[in-house]
Amino acid sequence: MAELNTPLKLGALKLKNRVIMAPLTRSRATDDRVPTPMMVEYYAQRASAGLIISEATVISEEANGYRNTPGLFTEAQVEGWKLVTNAVHEKGGLIVAQLWHVGRVSDPELLNGETPVSASSVQQAGHVSLLRPKRPYVLPRPLEIAEIHAITEQYKQAAIRAKEAGFDGVELHGANGYLIDQFLQTKTNKREDEYGGSVENRVRFLLEVVDALIDVWGADRVGVHLAPRGDEHDMGDDDPRETFGYAMEQLGKRKIAFFFTREYLAEDSISEYMKQRSDGVPYIANMRLSREDAIELLASGKADAVSFGKAYIANPDLYERLLQDASLNELRLENMIGSQTAEGYIDYPTLAELKVLSTIE
């Protein structure tokens, strides 16, 4: 029976425990998307996790939808990430890079005046995150086939740079309404070519990018991040079981290292079904998990590992706290994204630090 502290193999990755740090956008990179010394400390503080999945990292400047998110398309960015990966490894941790293209979830202000791209010209509801004055998302431009192939090559080049930067593998961000997801789901994919219509066509881009990452890393160091519930960025699919089941069937044939789903537990959850379709690909569960949820998922074999996001922001030693059933620090939402300060980023105390403080007082 698996427990929180049970070791785990995800492909070639040998984890010391089954508690995963989820990817978390914090917007602390430089204006040129270079990781900072503050980011080095942030990740090193959390190295007791069985695996860290880096914050979403853009594969090109045109892939971005937020200021100060890091990239993996310049040498300066590679050098910045090297400091992060070295620090995590020195603490005995593992870290993979999450590779990202936001697609339509952007704005011309962030793209040098260019129109955001997507699978099809389907405008997203709502307002662009963090930009002021507030403005609605614009109607995106559908990618031409040659552009799709060019973006696949950008993913491959980012994977090469991730290897140069010392990561232990890569995870493709195919979730949360970003570009890969926009091709997967029927609400955003209205294409009539080989990338639209049938489930085989809608999954094609995902699989072509995964194959490009496998060319660089080998399948046993490549993971995929999916969001079958479609509850972010105005997404939706006519038949999520068919779409995500087929995707997992194809990913299973490729023997990838793991898949990760952002899907809260409910009667209509399909992550367990996706695992069944995957021919044994290890599954990382995520979203609103309590300690009790995590323990039950591992004990029952419904998930191979469990992942936490906001809890890892506020608790650098979350793994140790979960083992001890210790109380958690309270998350300070005002500093979560967009602040360039250390406040609410690297100043959350560990249990050991709290103990020292209490003795001083």
Residues 75-81: contacts with CB within 8 Å, 24+ apart? 76/32, 76/34, 77/32, 77/33, 77/34, 77/35, 77/161, 77/165, 78/161, 78/164, 78/165, 79/34, 79/165, 80/29, 80/34, 80/35, 80/36, 80/39, 81/35, 81/162, 81/165, 81/166, 81/167
pLDDT of residue 361: 58
317 and 284 in contact (C-beta within 8 Å)? no
Residues 6+ apart with CB under 8 A from 188: 104, 118, 119, 120, 122, 177, 181, 182, 235
pLDDT of residue 32: 98
46 and 57 in contact (C-beta within 8 Å)? no
pLDDT of residue 326: 97
Instruction: Provide the CB-side half-sphere exposure for 297 (13 A, CA).
Output: 26
42, 43, 178, 195: the catalytic one is 178
Its pTM stands at: 0.97
Rounded (5°) CA angle 247-295-14: 60
Q: Is the peptide bond before 240 cis (omega within 30 degrees of 0)?
A: no
Active site residue 178: yes
pLDDT of residue 339: 78
Instruction: Note down pLDDT in tens along the chain; length 361 residues.
Output: 899 999 999 999 999 999 999 999 999 999 999 999 999 999 999 999 999 999 999 999 999 999 999 999 999 999 999 999 999 999 999 999 999 999 999 999 999 999 999 999 999 999 999 999 999 999 999 999 999 999 999 999 999 999 999 999 999 999 999 999 999 999 999 999 999 999 999 999 999 999 999 999 999 999 999 999 999 999 999 999 999 999 999 999 999 999 999 999 999 999 999 999 999 999 999 999 999 999 999 999 999 999 999 999 999 999 999 999 999 999 999 889 977 889 999 999 999 998 876 666 5
Please state, in angstroms and rounded to a whole number, the distance separating the CA atoms of residues 205 and 220.
Answer: 20
Please state, in angstroms and rounded to a whole number, the distance separating the CA atoms of residues 46 and 42.
Answer: 7
Count other C-beta atoms under 10 Å from residue 306's C-beta: 25
Residues 6+ apart with CB under 8 A from 112: none
103 and 116 in contact (C-beta within 8 Å)? yes
58 and 101 in contact (C-beta within 8 Å)? yes
Measure CA 286 to chain center: 11
Residues 6+ apart with CB under 8 A from 61: 33, 71, 73
